[in-house]
Copies of this chain bind each other. A is one copy, B any other.
Amino acid sequence: MKEKQRGKASVIFQHPPFIIAAASVVGKKEGEGPLGQYFDQIEADSMLGKKTWEEAESELQTRAATLAIEKSGLKKEEIRYYFGGDLLAQLIATTFGVMNLEFPMFGIYGACSTMGEAMGLGSMVVEGGFADHVIVTASSHFASAEKQFRFPLEYGNQRPYSATWTVTGCGSVILSAGHGKNPLAKIAGVTTGKIVDMAFKDSMNMGAAMAMAALDTILTNFRDLAVDETYYDKIVTGDLGQIGRRLLLDYLVKAGYDIESRYMDCGIEIFRDETQDTHAGGSGCGCSASVLCAYLLPKIREGVWKRVLFVPTGALLSTVSYNEGKSVPGIAHAVILETCDGEQEG
């Protein structure tokens, strides 16, 4: 079955799984950003009616997953596995968010690249014949992330311009072996990232920490598939922000690829720094996941972009390792999304 394997780290599917539904739920600030009109739900209460930030993030997952299932037209019982993750220690936002849904469950951790990692595994599980439908979800919450990784919000600490703002949001997609009535996209293949460590030690500049991982995954994808940047209508990273963006583009030029005209970063798109005080951009698992569901997939369905390389990026930061003087390594996972042709009708 080697024909599915390409090069060192890529897979091209013989029977591409379809994304038959997607849902996004975000917070107030994300709703006020440039993509506000595209999200399914904008929640004005940052606590989502719960008692803690962590419970609020769990509620994001419950809502996004429930809405994605509803949109798919499937019964919950028809969906075989839940692939989910978040940024918090021991994935508690996911645990308590998915618990009442009672799915057989795979917990995934890839920092902010989680949506890419989980979609990669989920699509292999579907294409391998192990499930007809799976649900893939990733979330983040500004306040639970600040608490986990930085300072209590009450400190009102200042953030350097290189810092990103963790998105309060969640994206959830249903991957299926069949295309259903009106699929959003098909997953043509995936490129799995490796950990890239640049001995980078500034936890307030995650974009730089992740840029080299994005570079590595994108170059691996080009090499494995024997293509260049023109193969894609759009190349979209997760949350590099302004600084990571510049680094990635510059290093790609050095490697012989000028992707700038077709490049986009979910973290840069989701906020308007001039008025929203978000500095380098948005970040968090929920950033690329919610922008995928709200903005990228509809554009792919409409054929505005026919082939997109979606590359969620993760900074493998932990307060424990960081305080012990360790670096912040990066990882990025790429998913090849294509417009469905002639498969819209069921």
- Complex Cα–Cα for A95 and B111 (A): 11
Q: Is the CB of A232 closer than 8 A to any CB of chain B?
A: no
Q: Is the CB of A74 closer than 8 A to any CB of chain B?
A: no
- Copies assembled: 2
- Complex Cα–Cα for A192 and B96 (A): 18
Q: Is the CB of A37 closer than 8 A to any CB of chain B?
A: no
Q: Is the CB of A31 closer than 8 A to any CB of chain B?
A: no
Which of A150-158, A305-313, A315-323 faces chain B?
A: A315-323
Q: Is the CB of A195 closer than 8 A to any CB of chain B?
A: yes
Q: Is the CB of B104 within 8 A of A107?
A: no
Q: Is the CB of B89 within 8 A of A316?
A: no
**Chain B positions within 8 Å of A193 at CB level:** 104-105
Q: Is the CB of B109 within 8 A of A107?
A: yes
Q: Is the CB of A5 within 8 A of B90?
A: no
Q: Is the CB of A131 within 8 A of B5?
A: yes
Q: Is the CB of B91 within 8 A of A109?
A: yes
- Complex Cα–Cα for A1 and B324 (A): 49
Q: Is the CB of A320 within 8 A of B148?
A: yes
Interface residues on A, range: 35 or more
Can you list 16 pairs linking A and B with CB atoms under 8 Å apart? A2-B129, A4-B128, A8-B80, A11-B130, A52-B324, A88-B89, A89-B148, A89-B320, A92-B320, A102-B194, A105-B193, A105-B331, A107-B109, A108-B109, A121-B121, A128-B129
Q: Is the CB of B127 within 8 A of A128?
A: yes
**Closest partner residue, chain B, to A324 (CB atom):** B52
**Chain B positions within 8 Å of A147 at CB level:** 320
Q: Is the CB of A99 within 8 A of B9?
A: no
Q: Is the CB of B89 within 8 A of A90?
A: yes
Q: Is the CB of B326 within 8 A of A96?
A: yes
**Closest partner residue, chain B, to A3 (CB atom):** B129
- Complex Cα–Cα for A90 and B324 (A): 15
**Chain B positions within 8 Å of A318 at CB level:** 88-90, 92
**Closest partner residue, chain B, to A86 (CB atom):** B109
Contact partner of A54 (CB less than 8 A), chosen from B92, B132, B195, B320, is B320
Q: Mark A68-104, 1 if CB is under 8 A from B, else 0.
A: 0000000000001100010111111001101100111
**Chain B positions within 8 Å of A148 at CB level:** 89, 320
Q: Is the CB of A130 within 8 A of B80?
A: no
Q: Is the CB of A16 closer than 8 A to any CB of chain B?
A: no
**Chain B positions within 8 Å of A228 at CB level:** none
**Least CB distance, A195 to chain B, in whole angstroms:** 5
**Closest partner residue, chain B, to A107 (CB atom):** B109
**Chain B positions within 8 Å of A207 at CB level:** none
Q: Is the CB of A250 closer than 8 A to any CB of chain B?
A: no
Interface centre among A81, A106, A124 (most CB of B within 10 A): A106
Q: Is the CB of A321 within 8 A of B128?
A: no
Q: Is the CB of B5 within 8 A of A104?
A: no
**Chain B positions within 8 Å of A111 at CB level:** 90
Q: Is the CB of A130 within 8 A of B99?
A: no
Known: A5-B131, A99-B329. A105 touches B52 (CB 8 A): no
